[in-house]
Amino acid sequence: MVEFLNHNSPFTISEGVYYILVASLGIPSNLLSIVVLCSQRCGVSRSTEIYLVSLAVVDTLFMVLGGLVDVGASWNESATSCAPSAFLCSFVSFNEQWTLCSCQWIITAFTLERYLVSRGRGPRPGHLGRLTRPQVALLLVLVSVIGSQVLSIPCCWLYLARPAMDGAEEWTRASQLWGNVSRVPLSSRCRALHSLHAPRPALRARTLVAPRGSAPFRDAGWRMRRSGRIQVVVSLVMVFLNLPHYVTQGIMAALHEQAWLERDMDVAVGVALMLQWLSMVIHFLLYCFLSSGFRRETLALLRRLCRGGAVSRGSWNNCCPQHPQAPRPRQVWLVQ
């Protein structure tokens, strides 16, 4: 959970406002992305749609269950001087952990799927194409979610009280289980970063099929390079924005007995958690805006909603008036 140091300090107030702003930006964008991906054909495969929709759902649950509820309970505690119940703390910690872990495993699976697609473009794809089916993507998403929930069950025990020797209640520290709980998300980040070193089969395919200077294959190669660059950027952003949170938690677990470092480390933990929240919004936008069809359908839907018209089932571009395109000369490409 988010633990504020002093509820009247400027850092605490700015931290709470930051969480509200990120949630107000991330939740509508994720819901809009779900509507666009489920209703329109944006030029992406079915497996990619499954990964992106699952990622949007998990991010939304993280911001609602693990974010807004957490900040609301913390502000209620400062206003009423009443600490939240152990059930609420366990509920928030469990939802934060399993949604964050599921998000990172989904990104890992999607990165591996893109890597297999790039390898399958060679002259002998073999059995790699069967691993990119929609059924396999749905199965991997379900396994990631269920496995993350099972691994996050110990988070429910962090705030359970146990009787002490003098009759009072002794609370367990959240840092005792840090190593076991955060091991899986950290390994998923390492896999996502390690799986990006893919070979270059596209060069061999273009050499075997057509000359390297022909326009259709030059355009396909440019799209593959752009997809690879965005994939690298997304994984690096995820690593560098999430890693400080686990580093500061590990330092807190090792130095919890030294009170002179407690305040400075708590501020560092708060800043690292803010960066982690930012990564929950950035990586999904980078993934979705990789597709020009998604941008086109999203802008058409926003124009339709701003004008107050009813949303139809067909393509939203046909419902919005557009300027006629200038006539273009026809081009015929012959590939020997």
What percent of the chain is predicted at pLDDT more than 70? 43
- Tokens 């989904």 found at: 106
242 vs 213: which has the higher pLDDT: 242
Mean pLDDT, rounded, for 93-99:
83
Query: How confident is the model at residue 142, as a pLDDT?
Result: 92
The mean pLDDT of the chain is 65
Residue 162 has φ and ψ, to the nearest 5°, of: -130, 145
Q: What is the DSSP string of 191-255?
A: HHHHTT----HHHHHHHHHS-TT-HHHHHHHHHHHHHHHHHHHHHHHHHHHHHHHHHHHHHHHHS
Exposed, middle or buried: residue 33 (CB in 10 Å: 0-12, 13-18, 19+)? buried
Tally Cβ neighbours within 10 Å of residue 81: 8
- CB of 165 closer than 8 Å to CB of 114: no
CB 218 within 8 A of CB 192: no
pLDDT score recorded for residue 261:
57
Which tens digit of pLDDT belongs to each residue from 142-194?
A: 999 999 888 888 877 765 555 544 444 444 443 333 333 333 333 222 333 33
Query: In this predicted model, which residue has the larger pLDDT, 106 or 308?
Result: 106
Q: Which domains does the chain have, with CATH numbers?
A: 13-161+170-305 (1.20.1070.10)
**Torsional sign, CA 283, 189, 145, 51:** positive
